[in-house]
Structure formats: structure tokens, C-alpha cells
């Protein structure tokens, strides 16, 4: 059995009073502690402008992990590792005090001088914080220093380049950990294992045997409290540029020569480089955008996007995107990758469907519409697992066939509580494993790809809303596949 590595570190969270820290980071730190991945040698410093103190942050942490603690459990030992400092990231004096605080906690918790700076704040501050940390000597330590950056990484290629330049003036690329939380999801990480540890799939994983690949990430939620951010972003920047293209890269990449961070990233980068550039005047052939109107989800009436806030009236922001990606390389020539994502859809689900080609002569089905192609379905959430759709003999006399499914459900079968994406990524960042973080080249290539689509859309005002809440998006998203002779496999 391999020994659990327990990294030692001071974790400095910028934006400690915010939603992400509360909903994701504190519970993740607790789960790492509970599972023995963090021992006593860690301290957390929370920073934000609010006038909290150590007692308040400890109470807030306790509240944020309520759902995880058992009755009567004493978590005071855990919360005693949390400290708070009221801090304005734009004020240079604050950093001098922060350095003093970090050094003092390092001595107390024997963290070996290891420092993880987690920027859970609006991206406008990323460059300032990185440079202030450098200028105030917070990178000068006997241990390691790493910077974890939340999304969005820029608004387009130009702003992403600018941000990257600012970060790289202060930190080396190998110290920068750009979060894409989909890369922390168990079944997204499983894509490589399913492919590269199973001959039956990898031998068939190419244009000779695969008809098309479909990646769907649908949400039932609307924009919630984030209307302001979302309206400047839209589904393309919010989901396609990062999570969806990352999943496509993992599905399409060549086997790396080993499992090192550099080799895996390098293969993903090659996929993004091979994505066929869509000329602005051809975007409508490949991409469909949508915005939700009012509707019904799970028996409840919900309002349309434009009614979510006063300033959304007449908004042209897309809450749904479907697209056909073409990967111009030897393995994938002729195989479309269809992607779709949207808010206020019928169900919350992320799923990959690999549709295999039929055999050259099917003895059992003469008519195409009766055939059930073999499908490999990778369920990412809410259920985790894989299902293989096959054909088998129908019980009884005759040569009739029926579709059957071989299913593996992660939770049910392994019996363990799947770690949260953020928990895994936080742990990886402390171990110095950047494999499941995005390299700058991946970010830049993804922006380059989506910028063209957005530029084309910005020239024409859409007729929104064009899909009902509770549906699977606009009709045009179905037509995108129908014109190629395919359809979306049911949700
Ligand atoms: N929330 C989520 O689920 C997700 C968030 N993200 C990203 O994570 C980041 C944080 O998001 P989220 O937590 O939702 O945002 P919030 O608006 O909830 O939190 C922002 C934080 O920044 C602090 N802050 C703002 N201005 C300053 C300042 N000048 N100096 C110091 N602290 C400041 C705020 O505290 P105070 O007001 O006390 O200063 C608060 O703690 C963003 O980049 C977001 O895009 C990414 C994916 C999901
Ligand atoms: O990054 C984001 O992801 C969430 C969806 O994440 P999931 O893990 O729940 O699938 C999305 O709601 C949000 O708009 C986006 O910023």
C-alpha cells in the first residue's frame, strides 16, 4: 500500500470571505485533514477586507463544513489552524504585515517555508497580487512557493496574454497553477485511464472505428447571484473555453510517452493546435448559440434569462452553446466532436458518448434505423461511471437482438466517498503536481479558438430567447447533428 504524503504548507487564501472559499476551499481543506492527507503541519491565512478576526474565520469555517462533520465531533483542533487578516490587496503596506505573519506561522507549524497563495478573487486583482507578493519578498523562502489562480483566465486572448505577462513577471510558469475544476473531477481524470489502460478501447480509438464523440454538460441552474459576471461572459467563455475544450483534449490526445505533467500537457496542446480554425463567416455552420426563456424544470416554473436582473433586458449573452469541432490530424480526420453546454436545461448532467461505427455487414439488421450502435458512455456527474452499450441475442427462438448495457458505477462499486474536485486539486498543488492544471499554451490556444466564434456572433444580434427552460436547448442544436446523419444520444 502506498504511503499517504502529507504536504506541509502555509495556505494563504486571498478572498477568504467569498463564496468560493466558503463553499469549496474550506470543505476541501477539512476533507484533506480528515483523510490524513494534511497533518498538523499546516496553517491557513484568510485575507479579505472585511473586519473578521481569527475567531470569526474559525466560526465561518465551522459553518462551511457543517454537512461534513459527524454529531458531537470536536473540530476545534482543525479550525485552530485558521487565521485571518483584514487586508486590501491594493494596499502595499498590507503585504509587509503579511510577510511577518507568514514567517511567524511557519515557525509555529513547521511548514518548511512552503507557501501556497490561492487567489480566490476577481481576476482583475491577479496581476497586482502576484507582483506585490514578489516585491515584498513573500517568494523568498527556504521552501516552495506556488500561486493558484482561479478562472476566468482573461476575457479573450488579448486580455489573457496581458494577465499572463503580469503573472510571469512575478512567478515562473512551473509555479503557476491555473485551476480548471473539471480536471479535478474523478471521471474526467478517468478518461486517460479508460483509454490508455484498456486495449479494447484504445485500439478502436480512431477514425476507423468511431463515428462521432459527444460531450454534454447541462445545468438546471440559471445564473443565480452571478448575473453581472455571467452577462459579460456567456457560456462560451464560462464553459467552452475551459472545461469543454479540456475534456475534448483528453479524449482526443495521443498516448503520452509517460504520465509526467509535461508529456500529458504536451499531448493536450497538440490536440488544441489541431482544432480546425473556424473562419468567422463559417461559424453558423459549426456553432449554435442560445438563451433560455421561461419554462418549467422539475415541476417548477422558472423565469427567462432576461428577467433574472434589470440590466439583462435585451441581453445578447448566450446561455447555451452547441458546436461541432473538427480535429485535423491522422487519428481524427472525419470524426466530428460535438459539444454542448447550457444553463436551465432539462437536467444537471455531464456525460461523454463515444459512438462506434457499425460493422461492415450487419447480419441482424437490414435497416439502419433498427441498429443500435455500440456506445461507450462516460458519466462524469451526477453519477460517476461508464456504460458500454452492446447488442445481445433476445431470449427465445430466432435471431432477434436487443440492446444491453454493461455498467460500472463508481460510487456503488468502490464504496468510497469520491473526493471533491477542489480537494484533489488543492492536494495536487501542494504536492507540486501540475498535471491537472492548465498550461498557458492550452489557455492561449483555447482563447484563440473561441475568440473567432465570439467575434462572428458579435456582428449579428441573435433572436433571443430561443430555448425554453427545462429543454435540451434550441432546435438548431439538434439540426447541427442531423445534417451529419447523427443525433444527440439521450440525456
Ligand atoms: N464561486 C464559485 O463557485 C466560483 C468562483 N470562481 C472564481 O473564483 C474567484 C472568487 O469567486 P467568488 O468567491 O465567487 O467571489 P466573491 O465575490 O464571493 O468573493 C470575492 C472575495 O474577494 C474579496 N475582495 C474583494 N476586493 C478585495 C480587495 N480589494 N482586497 C481584499 N479582498 C477583496 C472579498 O472580500 P471583502 O469584500 O471582505 O474584501 C471576497 O472575499 C473568481 O475569480 C471567480 O470567477 C470560479 C469558479 C466557481
Ligand atoms: O466553472 C463553472 O462551472 C460551473 C459548473 O460546474 P459543475 O462542476 O457544477 O459542473 C458553472 O455552473 C459555472 O457557471 C462555471 O463558471
**Domain CATH number, residue 112:** 3.40.50.720
According to the model, what pLDDT value does residue 361 have? 80
Question: pLDDT of 241-277, one tens digit each?
Answer: 999 999 999 999 999 999 999 999 999 999 999 999 9
Average pLDDT over residues 226-239: 94
According to the model, what pLDDT value does residue 174 have? 94
Q: For residue 244, what is the DSSP state? A: I
- Distance from the Cα of residue 7 to its chain's centroid: 24
In a domain, 341, yes or no: yes
According to the model, what pLDDT value does residue 401 have? 87
Based on the domain organization, do 350 and 430 belong to the same domain?
A: yes
Using the atom order of ligand 1, give the atom closest to the CA of residue 87: 31
pLDDT at 70 over 60: yes
According to the model, what pLDDT value does residue 369 have? 59
CA–centroid distance, 474 to ligand 1, in Å, is 33
Average per-residue pLDDT for the chain: 94
Based on the domain organization, do 339 and 392 belong to the same domain?
A: yes
Residue with more model confidence, 22 or 3: 22
Pocket test for ligand 1, best of 14, 16, 19, 181 (most atoms within 8 A of CB): 19
**Percent of the chain's residues with pLDDT above 90:** 88
In a domain, 160, yes or no: no
Based on the domain organization, do 74 and 26 belong to the same domain?
A: yes
Per-residue buried b or exposed e for 72-95, using 16+ beta carbons within 10 Å of the residue's own CB:
eeebeebbebbbbbebebeeeebb
Residue 121 CB–ligand 1 contact under 6 Å: yes
According to the model, what pLDDT value does residue 418 have? 59
Based on the domain organization, do 45 and 123 belong to the same domain?
A: yes
> Using 50, 70 and 90 to split pLDDT, how confident is the model at 225?
confident
Q: Which of 79, 112, 160, 105 is nearest to 7 (CA)?
A: 112
Kindly state the cell numbers that stand for 206.
Answer: 480512431
In a domain, 489, yes or no: no
According to the model, what pLDDT value does residue 359 have? 86
Average pLDDT over residues 36-50: 97
According to the model, what pLDDT value does residue 491 have? 64
> Of 98, 128, 150, which residue constitutes the final position of a domain?
150
Based on the domain organization, do 197 and 106 belong to the same domain?
A: no
Question: pLDDT of 7-17, one tens digit each?
Answer: 999 999 999 99
According to the model, what pLDDT value does residue 125 have? 95
Q: Identify how many contiguous H helices and E strands the chain contains and give both numbers.
A: 17, 17
**Structural domain span for residue 60:** 9-150
Average pLDDT over residues 168-193: 96
Ligand nearest the Cα of residue 238 is 2
According to the model, what pLDDT value does residue 414 have? 45
CA–centroid distance, 173 to ligand 1, in Å, is 23
Residue with more model confidence, 417 or 23: 23
The rounded distance, in Å, linking the Cα atoms of 104 and 106 is 5
> Using 50, 70 and 90 to split pLDDT, how confident is the model at 367?
low
The rounded distance, in Å, linking the Cα atoms of 162 and 23 is 30
The rounded distance, in Å, linking the Cα atoms of 473 and 467 is 5
According to the model, what pLDDT value does residue 413 have? 41
Based on the domain organization, do 110 and 227 belong to the same domain?
A: no
Residue with more model confidence, 322 or 411: 322
pLDDT at 325 over 80: yes
The rounded distance, in Å, linking the Cα atoms of 427 and 38 is 9
Based on the domain organization, do 126 and 274 belong to the same domain?
A: no
CA–centroid distance, 238 to ligand 2, in Å, is 8
- Regarding an ipTM greater than 0.85, the answer is yes
What sign does the CA torsion over 360, 363, 364, 369 have? positive
Binding residues for NADP(+): 49, 88-89, 151
Residue holding cell 455552420?
Answer: 285
Question: Domain holding 197: CATH number?
Answer: 3.30.360.10
> Of 99, 126, 150, which residue constitutes the final position of a domain?
150
Contact residues for 243 (Cβ-Cβ < 8 A; gap 6+): 180, 181, 182, 217, 341
In a domain, 2, yes or no: no
Residue 28 CB–ligand 1 contact under 6 Å: no
Question: pLDDT of 202-221, one tens digit each?
Answer: 999 999 999 999 999 999 99
Give the total number of structural domains in the chain. Answer: 2
Active site residues: 243
> Using 50, 70 and 90 to split pLDDT, how confident is the model at 364?
confident
According to the model, what pLDDT value does residue 411 have? 63
In a domain, 294, yes or no: yes
Contact residues for 327 (Cβ-Cβ < 8 A; gap 6+): 252, 271, 274, 275, 276, 333, 335, 337
- Answer whether 331's CB lies under 8 Å from 247's CB: no
CA–centroid distance, 449 to ligand 2, in Å, is 20
Kindly state the cell numbers that stand for 388.
Answer: 458500454
The rounded distance, in Å, linking the Cα atoms of 259 and 90 is 40
In a domain, 41, yes or no: yes
Residue holding cell 484533506?
Answer: 32
pLDDT at 227 over 60: yes
Average pLDDT over residues 118-138: 95
According to the model, what pLDDT value does residue 432 have? 97
According to the model, what pLDDT value does residue 61 have? 98
> Of 128, 150, 172, which residue constitutes the final position of a domain?
150
According to the model, what pLDDT value does residue 370 have? 62
Based on the domain organization, do 281 and 366 belong to the same domain?
A: yes
Based on the domain organization, do 99 and 222 belong to the same domain?
A: no
According to the model, what pLDDT value does residue 400 have? 83
Based on the domain organization, do 297 and 445 belong to the same domain?
A: yes
Contact residues for 317 (Cβ-Cβ < 8 A; gap 6+): 230, 231, 232, 233, 234, 291, 305
Residue 19 CB–ligand 1 contact under 6 Å: yes
Based on the domain organization, do 300 and 359 belong to the same domain?
A: yes
Based on the domain organization, do 201 and 324 belong to the same domain?
A: yes
Which region, left, alpha or beta, applies to residue 298 given φ > 0 means left and ψ of -120 to 50 means alpha? left
Ligand nearest the Cα of residue 350 is 2
In a domain, 155, yes or no: no
In a domain, 170, yes or no: no
Amino acid at each position: 500500500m502506498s504511503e499517504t504524503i502529507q504536504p506541509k504548507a502555509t495556505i494563504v487564501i486571498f478572498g477568504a470571505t467569498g463564496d468560493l472559499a466558503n463553499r469549496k476551499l474550506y470543505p476541501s481543506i477539512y476533507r484533506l485533514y480528515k483523510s490524513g492527507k494534511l497533518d498538523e503541519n499546516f496553517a491557513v491565512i484568510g485575507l479579505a477586507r472585511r473586519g473578521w478576526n481569527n475567531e470569526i474565520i474559525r466560526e465561518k469555517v465551522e459553518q462551511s463544513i457543517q454537512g461534513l462533520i459527524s454529531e458531537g465531533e470536536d473540530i476545534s483542533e482543525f479550525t485552530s489552524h485558521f487565521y485571518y487578516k483584514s487586508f486590501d490587496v491594493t494596499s502595499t503596506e498590507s503585504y509587509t504585515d503579511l510577510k511577518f505573519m507568514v514567517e511567524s506561522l511557519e515557525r509555529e507549524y513547521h511548514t518548511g517555508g512552503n507557501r501556497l497563495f490561492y487567489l480566490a478573487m476577481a481576476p482583475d486583482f491577479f496581476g497586482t497580487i502576484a507582483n506585490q507578493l514578489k516585491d515584498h519578498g513573500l517568494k523568498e523562502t527556504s521552501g516552495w512557493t506556488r500561486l493558484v489562480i482561479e478562472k476566468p483566465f482573461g476575457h479573450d486572448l488579448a486580455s489573457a496574454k496581458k494577465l499572463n505577462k503580469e503573472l510571469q513577471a512575478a512567478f515562473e510558469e512551473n509555479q503557476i497553477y491555473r485551476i480548471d475544476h473539471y480536471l479535478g473531477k474523478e471521471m474526467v481524470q478517468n478518461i486517460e485511464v479508460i483509454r490508455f489502460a484498456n486495449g479494447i478501447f484504445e485500439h478502436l480509438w480512431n477514425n476507423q472505428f468511431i463515428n462521432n464523440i459527444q460531450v454534454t454538460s447541462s445545468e438546471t441552474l440559471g445564473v443565480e447571484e452571478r448575473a453581472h459576471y455571467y452577462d459579460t461572459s456567456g457560456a462560451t467563455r464560462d464553459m467552452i473555453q475551459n472545461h469543454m475544450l479540456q475534456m475534448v483534449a483528453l479524449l482526443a490526445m495521443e498516448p503520452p510517452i509517460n504520465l509526467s505533467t509535461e508529456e500529458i500537457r504536451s499531448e493536450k496542446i497538440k490536440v488544441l493546435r489541431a482544432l480546425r480554425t473556424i473562419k468567422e463567416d463559417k461559424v453558423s455552420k459549426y456553432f449554435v448559440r442560445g438563451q433560455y426563456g421561461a419554462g418549467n424544470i422539475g415541476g417548477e416554473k422558472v423565469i427567462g434569462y432576461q428577467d433574472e436582473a434589470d440590466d439583462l433586458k435585451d441581453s445578447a449573452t448566450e446561455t447555451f452553446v452547441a458546436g461541432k469541432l473538427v480535429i485535423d490530424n491522422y487519428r481524427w480526420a472525419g470524426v466530428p466532436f460535438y459539444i454542448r453546454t447550457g444553463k436551465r436545461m432539462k437536467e444537471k448532467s455531464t456525460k461523454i458518448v463515444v459512438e462506434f461505427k457499425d460493422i461492415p455487414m450487419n447480419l441482424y439488421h437490414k435497416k439502419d434505423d433498427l441498429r443500435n450502435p455500440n456506445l461507450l458512455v462516460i458519466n462524469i456527474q451526477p453519477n460517476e461511471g461508464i456504460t458500454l452499450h452492446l447488442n445481445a441475442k433476445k431470449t427465445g427462438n430466432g435471431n432477434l437482438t436487443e440492446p444491453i448495457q454493461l455498467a460500472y458505477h463508481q460510487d456503488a462499486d468502490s464504496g468510497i466517498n469520491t473526493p471533491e474536485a477542489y480537494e484533489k486539486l488543492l492536494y495536487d498543488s501542494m504536492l507540486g503536481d501540475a498535471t491537472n492544471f492548465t498550461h498557458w499554451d492550452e489557455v492561449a490556444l483555447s482563447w484563440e479558438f473561441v475568440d473567432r466564434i465570439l467575434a462572428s456572433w458579435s456582428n449579428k444580434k441573435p433572436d433571443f430567447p430561443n430555448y425554453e427552460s427545462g429543454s435540451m436547448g434550441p432546435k438548431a442544436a439538434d439540426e447541427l447533428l442531423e445534417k451529419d446523419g447523427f443525433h444527440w444520444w439521450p440525456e
